[in-house]
Amino acid sequence: MDRGDGVCRHLDENNAGCRIYDQRPDACRIDRQYELHYRQAMSWETFVQINEAGCKQLQALGVGEGTRAIPASTDNRNT
């Protein structure tokens, strides 16, 4: 889904939203990934913190330069 610069090709940069949100694949559904792979190992809050830290590291490296970050929610498991 990478458009070649570390940013998803489905990102609408004008509103920092996903153009295919309702049909996004499981890999983009962090709630689903948490339930399938991480629930037994950590809390939802810890999972979100780890993902936010990874995003900040990518931003520090300049991946997706010029795009805005989408704020994370600690309570979006059912979206």
| Each residue's pLDDT tens digit, 57-68 | 877 877 656 555
Q: What is the pLDDT of residue 46?
A: 96
Q: Give the DSSP letter string of 25-54.
A: -GGG-HHHHIIIIITTTS-HHHHHHHHHHH
Contact between residue 32 and residue 26 where contact means Cβ atoms under 8 Å apart: yes
What are the backbone angles phi and psi of residue 18, rounded to the nearest 5°?
-90, 130
In the predicted model, is pLDDT for residue 14 greater than 80?
Answer: yes
**Residue 66: predicted pLDDT:** 59
pLDDT on residue 79: 47
More confident call, 68 vs 55: 55
Over residues 59-78, the mean pLDDT reads: 60
